[in-house]
Structure 1
Amino acid sequence: MIPRLLGPQVEEHLSLFPAVGLLGPRQVGKTTLARAIADSREEGAHGEPGRVAGGLYLDLENPADLARLAEGSGYLKGVKDRLVVLDEIQRAPELFRELRGIIDRRIWGGEQAGQFLILGSASLELLRQSGESLAGRIGYLELGPLDVREVEADRLLRLWNRGGFPPSFLAPSDEASALWRENFIRTYLERDIPQLGPRIPAETLRRFWTMLAHSQGGLWNASTFARSLGVDGKTVARYADLLVDLLLVRRLQPIHVNVRKRLAKSPRLYLRDSGVLHALLGIPDLDYLLGHPVAGPSWEGFAIETLIRAAPDRLTPPGFYRTATGVEIDLILEVPGPRRWAIEIKRGLAPRMGKGFRIALEDVKADRAFVVYGGDDRYPVRGGVEVIGLRELALELAAL
């Protein structure tokens, strides 16, 4: 299994917070990472500051593990001095209240950090439940699919084609990868989403998800989707909210600067994993993808997701800039300093910058400007803009 970059951050959070919430979509590798962390806790480690001895893994989708927690506080009290991993905790939301009492009693007893590692596949559910019960006691991290910093440089195109879910990326063939992604989509639609509560017909939600794939990176227009699905605007907005909350879709908001221009007010929606995008559109392999109209928007979304995940957590929310006349910048990041980085994304090996990009740079007063392209070389162009490969810019952001 590919080592995940988030591992050290999870350990750091466990040294600071009584509980750590590790969020991410299903099959992204949360359980594998949590088991590795729990297994690394050897007996006697409790003598080290901020560490808890041993590790106990409980899967709340396993009836046996769920039965142990039928009277949560009683069982969990008996595993004191161990890191307890609670997987898919949204299946037992009543545990949050129990955890609060246990954590508070232990804090009064002088124990503070690294008691519980909580895994969840639905950010909305987990944040709502823990926000009510564990405020001030929990730190959050998000584990996404594999990105360019976690794979070899010569496998970037495979990563773009198959996406970053480990079983898809590591599949023995493109056919096996596509089959895995199709089953991933079906499982979400037919099992996971209904278990979370929303009563949405699987066929309707799949149509909506596929429509989003066709309009990858487009400005959100609820009425257009509503007409196509035969529902009202509020209903289709609820569908979008659901996929955002499940960490499957990213909603990128426009930024507003003080210019006398009419600016875009609607967000852009991107499917967060390029492999899922390609599966929904029936794209079987890289050759087919390169000739498909979605290739450009797909690469744009792939690059945007990579760069946002590489950037420091303390950044202000990422955004984009667009005027009514089409002057735009694909991604704007406010990096520590504070400094504003403007990033344009091109798929080709000989990127060209249009007049609109240069006008936009003047509007947003960017401190640094980059054009991310499909090559590896780095070189300056006029106007203080740097052309740079996706991996190199991701590594530069991660080092901030």
Structure 2
Amino acid sequence: MITRRLQPTLEHLLDNYPAVALLGPRQAGKTTLAQDIAAQRPAIYLDLESTADQAKLQHAELYLADHQDKLVILDEVQRAPGLFQNLRGLIDQGRRQGLRTGRFLLLGSASIELLQQSSETLAGRISYLELTPFDALELAVEQTETLWLRGGFPDSILARNDAISLKWRQDFIRTYLERDIPQLGPRIPAETLRRFWSMLAHNQGELLNAAKLAAALGVDGKTIARYLDLLVDLLLVRRLKPWHSNSGKRLVKSPKTYVRDSGIAHALLGIGDKEALLGHPVCGKSWEGFVIENCLSVAPQHTEASFYRSSAGAECDLLLTFPDQTTWAIEIKRSLSPSLQKGFYFAQEDIQPAQSFLVYPGTETYSIAEGVKAIGLIAMLSLIAGKS
């Protein structure tokens, strides 16, 4: 069993809030983590995809009131949006009886419905936490390259070999397209959405060109925006926004897009092993997306992420603005002898970051230029996690 780095944070929130929503894509390990929490305190677990558990909640307020002395874990809670009104009443009633914390743990696949319902009815009563698939700090150092190839979903990274891992990811993609997304309501043909998702993988780390994607799929720009919003809301795709400042510089305004899990991106591209990955044109951008996702998975809550690009050629892959308002500039290279381009130095002058780094696949940390350190991924993640 691999201990999730997020577990102490989740336990702390449960000790301080009546309800906590743990959001993340399917199969990221939410249920396993919740059951680990349940083993340490009185709790009951209800899976809202189970017919039997759905039946228990036909009279939800009565049933849940009988278990007010326990932590109630509701899995796939977005399938029962009507529950949120009941939860608000139970939380307020419990507060009057001195039951102020640790009442409900809501697990959801980050659907739009879950976010809207909870924000409307549980404001001031709920805290949100995102569980990503495994990151590099949760695994052994020697597993980092395998993590990049297979991605962080537990069943993929822990598979016996690359072929089994690839098959699991292909099945995961098919299940999402044919079963999970239709259950959320959108009427989108599975094959169309697969093509769109695959196009995003081919364009990993590139500026979003909605017109180009729309022409390739034979749809309009609004439809592309709807498809992208859906995959972003399901935590399957990241839309990295451009940095904005009042400097008067002409800055790029389009976001970059990344398929968040590198293993899913590789499965969409038919990449099954490391040799195929290293020889594929997407290799560099795949590594870039992998580093960005790992950096954001360990960053403190409320850290702002962006990239920088100006019409004058200034460019930086990742800017992290921490809650204390300090900004770190991070350039990413898939090379054991990395070098910086002029664009990064221009970006440094424009942004004036507190610290600057170049992340590369090696392990040594050294100064590569004045004010810039070359650093391995694990060391970089440890520094970012230390900002918490």
* Counterpart selection for 2:252 from 250, 261, 264: 264
Question: Are residues 1:331 and 2:318 paired?
Answer: yes
* Counterpart selection for 1:349 from 324, 333, 336: 336
* Counterpart selection for 1:116 from 82, 104, 128: 104
* Counterpart selection for 2:74 from 70, 86, 96: 86
Where do 5+ consecutive residues of structure 2 fail to align?
none
CA contact (8 A) 1:24 1:123 kept: no
Deviating runs (4+, > 6 A) in structure 1? none
Q: Which residue of 2 aligns with 1:20?
A: 20
Counterpart amino acid of residue 22 in structure 2: L
Q: Which residue of 2 aligns with 1:306?
A: 294
Q: Which residue of 1 aligns with 2:374?
A: 387
SS in 2 for 1:318: strand
Within 5 Å, give how 1:162-201 maps onto structure 2.
162-201=150-189
Aligned residue pair count: 387
CA contact (8 A) 2:298 2:384 kept: yes
Instruction: Report how far residue 314 of structure 1 moved.
Output: 3.2
Q: Which residue of 2 aligns with 1:106?
A: 94
Q: Which residue of 2 aligns with 1:396?
A: 383
Counterpart amino acid of residue 39 in structure 2: D
CA contact (8 A) 1:257 1:363 kept: no
Cα deviations by residue, 1:293-345 (Å, 9 ceiling, x for unpaired): 00000000000011111111132x21010012432000001124432110000
CA distance in 1 between counterparts of 2:12 and 2:37 reads: 12
Q: Which residue of 2 aligns with 1:141?
A: 129
CA contact (8 A) 2:78 2:111 kept: no
* Counterpart selection for 2:147 from 137, 159, 171: 159
Within 5 Å, give how 1:122-133 maps onto structure 2.
122-133=110-121
SS in 1 for 2:129: strand
SS in 2 for 1:333: strand
CA distance in 1 between counterparts of 2:324 and 2:227 reads: 37
Q: Which residue of 2 aligns with 1:205?
A: 193
SS in 2 for 1:107: helix
CA distance in 1 between counterparts of 2:118 and 2:244 reads: 33
Counterpart amino acid of residue 186 in structure 1: R
CA distance in 2 between counterparts of 1:129 and 1:180 reads: 32
For the aligned residue pairs, the C-alpha RMSD in angstroms reads 0.9
CA distance in 2 between counterparts of 1:337 and 1:202 reads: 43
Q: TM-score, normalised by structure 1?
A: 0.95
Q: Which residue of 2 aligns with 1:56?
A: 44
Change (3 A) 1:336 1:234: closer
CA distance in 2 between counterparts of 1:80 and 1:259 reads: 54
Q: Which residue of 2 aligns with 1:51?
A: none
SS in 2 for 1:180: helix
Question: Are residues 1:35 and 2:35 paired?
Answer: yes
Counterpart amino acid of residue 168 in structure 1: S
Instruction: Report how far residue 284 of structure 1 moved.
Output: 0.8
* Counterpart selection for 1:278 from 266, 283, 289: 266
Where do 5+ consecutive residues of structure 1 fail to align?
42-53
CA distance in 1 between counterparts of 2:130 and 2:175 reads: 21
